[in-house]
Amino acid sequence: MKKLIILTLSILLNGIFAIASPFSFSFDETTGEATLLSVDKTLPKTAIIPDSVENGGRWYTVTKIAKQAFAKCGKMETVQLPSGLKKIGPVAFAECGKLKSIVIPQGVETIPHHCFYLCSSLESVTLPSTLKSIEHDAFIACRSLQTIHIPNSVHHIGSWAFGENLALESVDFQADNKKLSIGDHAFDRSGLKTLIIPSFVDSLGEYVFNGCSSLKSAIIETDLDTLPKMTFHGCENMTGLTLKGKMNAIAYGAFSDCKKLESITLPTTLKGIGVNAFDGCKSLATINLQNLTLLQTIGEAAFSGCENIEKISLPSGIKKIEDGTFMSCHSLIEITGENVESEAEFSFYDCPKLRTKKFAK
């Protein structure tokens, strides 16, 4: 049996106990647990949620915070969560524009969707070792968050979870994780400067690091069947990229518009390079296609706009050059392909310096 009781509690403010606006709790008489349902939106700078609350002569442990409970608390800068907390509801702290830091206690397993949406002043987040999932949009648009440590207990990071975190310079994945999936747009347009994707990441979504314009270098240590669509699209300041893991394919636009990418060593397991994969990589000068003995397809416009490439040697598995594959490669002088049998009409459109093509036919 549950009861809903409105209690007026004390909140610690500058070392002085003062009567504050009420917290609303519900009580479960069977489990002895309490859920914080809502708070007055005029909460002061510092809020302390008690570990337990008394009702009718009985003490109840605070284990849950309900959906939207603290949403739009415009004055609150810090909040102390109860030590027995197990569950936080969606949108619980959304649009708390002055919230600066939060420590999620041990026992919490999920950060739900939009939990800290648009907490624009949030600088510090401590996640517990019990955490398993960070759901979609959980920290989206937290534009003051500079770093985040992902515990090895986390197995899923949802879409847009850290999207539009403009100040987020680094993400630290704790070692010894067994598996971790990262959803679409998870770090889209974040401020990441360096990145290591560890070997235990078993799934990447599309557009994961799209538009990370501050990203300068990235290392992918994990094995992937396919590097997804638009993974690093628009990472315009990335100069270095290392692919250490095995990979069968690079999907559409994965590195498109990485304007400062100068060189890349592709994994020898690669079988396909997708449409627009390196489109607009203006600084790309060297790429090891000749070493890719398993490579069978290169998609349309895959290297379009790679203005600094001078020579290309295609591996034996490439028999056809698709439309626009090397379009606007302004420095391209020579291309060879011992088994190339055909080329599309605009394969080499706008390649003014191309003088030598050595193909099977």
Q: What pLDDT is recorded for position 84?
A: 98
Q: What is the mean pLDDT of residues 290-309?
A: 97
pLDDT tens digits for range 109-130 = 999 999 999 999 999 999 999 9
Q: What pLDDT is recorded for position 43?
A: 83
Burial of 350 (0-12, 13-18, 19+ CB in 10 A): middle
N-terminal to C-terminal alpha carbon distance within the chain: 82
Work out the pLDDT band at 132, boundaries 50, 70, 90.
very high
Burial of 352 (0-12, 13-18, 19+ CB in 10 A): exposed
Rounded CA-CA distance 168/189 in Å is 10
231-235: Cβ within 8 A, 24+ apart: 231/204, 231/206, 231/207, 231/255, 232/258, 233/207, 233/257, 233/258, 234/210, 234/258, 235/209, 235/211
What is the per-residue burial (b if ≥16 Cβ within 10 Å, else e) of 327-346?
bbbeebeebebeebeebeeb
How far is residue 309 from each of residues 253, 274, 306, 313, measured CA to CA in Å?
18, 18, 6, 11
Q: What pLDDT is recorded for position 8?
A: 42
Q: What is the mean pLDDT of residues 58-78?
A: 96
Position 187 pLDDT exceeds 80: yes
Q: For residues 293 and 271, is the Cβ–Cβ distance under 8 A?
A: no
pLDDT tens digits for range 223-232 = 999 999 999 9
Q: Please state the separation of Cα 47 from the chain's center in Å.
A: 30
Rounded CA-CA distance 219/222 in Å is 9
pLDDT tens digits for range 245-261 = 999 999 999 999 999 99
Q: What pLDDT is recorded for position 22?
A: 63
14-19: Cβ within 8 A, 24+ apart: 14/46, 18/44
Work out the pLDDT band at 288, boundaries 50, 70, 90.
confident
Rounded CA-CA distance 286/306 in Å is 10
Rounded CA-CA distance 44/14 in Å is 10
